[in-house]
Amino acid sequence: MPGDSPIGGVGLAHPAPAGLGFEIRPFESRDEKAVVALWERCQLVRAWNDPHKDIRRKLNVRPEWFLVGRLHGDLIASVMAGYDGHRGWLNYLAVDPQYRRRGFARELVNHAERLLRAAGGPKVNLQVRSLNLPVVEFYRQLGYSADDVVSLGKRLESDTPPL
Ligand SMILES: CC(C)(COP(=O)(O)OP(=O)(O)OC[C@H]1O[C@@H](n2cnc3c(N)ncnc32)[C@H](O)[C@@H]1OP(=O)(O)O)[C@@H](O)C(=O)NCCC(=O)NCCS
């Protein structure tokens, strides 16, 4: 199973905290439908970002760092981690609304941080929409703080089909 292979000294499959039944493992292709449905429930899908294309792109670069969290076999959480050789990045952190405030996102982020640390990444960056204050608060609780930067982006490929 891909989740069983340790990389950089850090096991990818993460045993659940006792009694919780929460398992973290790398994404597998059979998870795609459930992951996209989770992102939709968590309002992470935007018209300009095709989630299926985002998954395909991630599967080309450190696919084993695209993590899903399962509770008693149901896919209820996700996070995509990346490292560009300078900074680690987190994207698509999501926990099913039904299972929030039980520490599952904290577990996922801690797991991703262990992978980044083992790969030599000195800092994690991430972007949160400015109006998404609960998520900002979540990250603050995990030791993150706002950097004094303006986040800029430039689209290199459009995901929106032409009209
Ligand atoms: C952000 C998110 C992943 C948090 O998931 P979660 O499993 O509920 O988070 P945890 O239970 O691990 O929370 C850990 C701590 O963070 C803080 N926290 C979490 N959610 C919070 C909220 N809505 N408001 C304020 N603090 C919050 C709390 O201190 C919490 O500990 P506590 O429950 O003991 O008080 C979840 O709310 C989510 O999926 N949101 C929608 C998707 C999204 O916007 N993702 C971010 C993309 S950038």
What pLDDT is attached to residue 13? Answer: 54
The per-residue pLDDT string of the chain (163 residues; one tens digit each, 9 = 90 and over) reads: 333 333 333 545 555 454 469 999 999 999 999 999 999 999 999 998 999 999 999 999 999 999 999 999 999 999 999 999 999 999 999 999 999 999 999 999 999 999 999 999 999 999 999 899 999 999 999 999 999 999 999 999 999 877 6
Q: Domain range spanning residue 24?
A: 2-141
156 within some domain: no
67 within some domain: yes
What pLDDT is attached to residue 3? Answer: 35
161 within some domain: no
35 within some domain: yes
H/E stretch holding 160 reads none
Q: How far is the CA of 46 from the centre of ligand 1 (A)?
A: 20
- Give which of 71, 60, 144, 73 is closest to 110, Cα–Cα: 144
CATH of the domain at 49: 3.40.630.30
Instruction: Indicate whether residue 45 lines ligand 1 (CB < 6 A).
Output: no
Between CA 10 and CA 22 the distance in angstroms is 18
What pLDDT is attached to residue 136? Answer: 98
Instruction: Indicate whether residue 100 lines ligand 1 (CB < 6 A).
Output: yes
149 within some domain: no
Centre a 10 Å sphere on the Cβ of residue 83 and count the other Cβ atoms it contains. Answer: 17
Strand extents, DSSP E, the chain: 22-26, 66-71, 74-83, 88-95, 124-125
Q: How far is the CA of 144 from the centre of ligand 1 (A)?
A: 13
Exposed/middle/buried for 124, CB within 10 Å: 0-12, 13-18, 19+? buried
* Cα-Cα end-to-end distance for the chain: 42
135 within some domain: yes
Instruction: Indicate whether residue 110 lines ligand 1 (CB < 6 A).
Output: no
Atom of ligand 1 nearest to the CA of 106: 12
Q: What is the pLDDT of residues 73-113, one digit of tens each?
A: 999 999 999 999 999 999 999 999 999 999 999 999 999 99
Inter-residue contact 15 to 107 (CB < 8 Å) = no
163 within some domain: no
The DSSP symbol for 161 reads: P
Domain count across the chain? 1
